Chain A
Amino acid sequence: MIQMHDVTKSFDGVPVLNGVNYTLSHGEFAFLRGRSGSGKSTFLKLLYRESEREHGTILIDGTAIDALQKFELRRKMGIIFQSYELISQHTVLENVLIAGKALGRPLEEIEAEAMRLLTRVGLADKVHQFPNKLSGGQQQRVAIVRALLNKPKLLLADEPTGNLDRETAQDIMTLLYELHREEQMAMLIVTHSEELLTSGARVSVMEGGHIDE
């Protein structure tokens, strides 16, 4: 699903990623762990081109990411952000539907799918609320539903539990693992916390600009 070869990225001359090689197979669930500032988020941003690499190649589902326009590339994946990135002026349902509207899917279709997923994560009664009325865990669930709406083959999660307490974080991780099994997608979760690692899942470690397995 992801093939990254000899990728380099630096900021102001300081190398953050130094010849990184990484692969993620279709349907695989994996963690990328590392301390704060090790370049984990930068690694993810290169995958969806919020940042551009200086050297190396990146393939998503067999296609070089440069061969696609940014918006075409981002439609192939779901992204979950540490800060949720929910639009404060949109309701829960409106936030989720944005993902479907981006692809021009019919409204009835995406509304039905959104309600199914929101019910699955326990937020069916919150659909008309605004994000500021929800807890951190609830907001992250909305973000997860939004990322899954278009049934992507790849889900990227950047510190999805970074702003949550331990118990809620554990709930979110459990939810992500369950959804991974239900939706059969590749999932790459970036985290600095060792406690949240799911047993049996592949764990890679980012250190010194390299990834060690």
Chain B
Amino acid sequence: MNKHQWQYMFHDTKLGLKRNKGAVMASVTLLFIALCLIGQLLLVRAYITEAVHYVESQVAMKVYVEDGMAQEVAAILAEQSYTKDVNVETGAEMIASLAFFFEGRTHLLESFTDGRVPDAVKFSVKDAEMMQVIAKNLEGASGIVSVVYPQQMAQILVSWIETIELYGVLVVLLFFVVAFMMVYSTCHLAMYKRQQELKVKLLLGMNPKIVRMQFLMEGVVLGISGACIAMLTTAVSYYTVYAGIHQAVPYLGKLHTMDLVMVCSVQLVMGVFLSVLASYISTRDVIADV
């Protein structure tokens, strides 16, 4: 391609978008809706991540030990047949994991740090039904101060969380497929109207790669436009809705700026990918036939 052909391609891309405003609006709107939904799903997931991690970390038996006994007790428990996995949590680590629940209420957290929090050995068991029996056996053993194990409700909650996470991933994938189908249908309809333009250019000797590139570039512009509006909506919801929820219910979750950046990046990449793929598939058959 020489420099004139590049110029003509950019010019034709601009002209194509300008003279097909209806199709452009439809494509951008559909992209915006799909990316918005996906962005909100991802934001919610990020928002409750810390709370979910905390709950998951507590669904394990905790054995509080005397000073300096943590590693020894952990090694003994690791050898037991009922143990699935073991790790040591120091008092300082336990307080740090609680910190996000006390945002805005640091005076309450300080009361924890003022007191003594013993080290603990956390371990999960292979058979949850055996937890009560195992706890009873461990209580009173040398080096062990107390044994805590999750009630049935916490285990049910974790089970729900795992199910929701799995379905959450499937829902995002489903949204992605639905978004692609919507954008593809719109691009295909728009392409039907412009088939003649494509066909004429090919019959006049234009390189098919250049013809395709023009329509792919139009796809890129559509993708970026839809993604930008979705990113803006996501940012507004981040600073208004989620910030408001966090103020009212701080222990439910928290979002970091990096979460917003990640979600917006995913929206941008997905937006461009969806529209370019839809443009490519829409033009493929016409280019092959002429």
A residues near B (Cβ < 8 Å) are 48, 50, 70-75, 79, 85-90, 94, 98-99, 101-107, 146
Contact = CB atoms under 8 A, between A and B. Distances in A.
A107 B2 CA distance: 13
Interface string B176-204: 00000000000000000010110111111
Contacts of A146: 204
Interface in B40-74: none
Contact of B4 (A79, A86, A104): A104
B4 A74 contact: no
Contact of B205 (A74, A87, A88, A90): A74
A50 B202 CA distance: 10
Given A85-B196, A87-B197, A102-B201, A71 B4 contact: no
A48 B199 CA distance: 13
A79 to B, nearest CB: 6
Contacts of A106: 4
Given A71-B207, A89-B19, A101 B196 contact: no
Interface residues of B, number: 24
A89 B18 CA distance: 10
Contact of A48 (B8, B19, B200, B203): B203
A37 B12 CA distance: 37
B208 interface: yes
A90 B11 CA distance: 13
B204 A74 contact: yes
Contacts of A89: 19-20, 194, 197
A101 B4 CA distance: 8
A71 B199 CA distance: 12
Nearest to A143: B200
Nearest to A74: B205
B290 interface: yes
B197 A71 contact: no
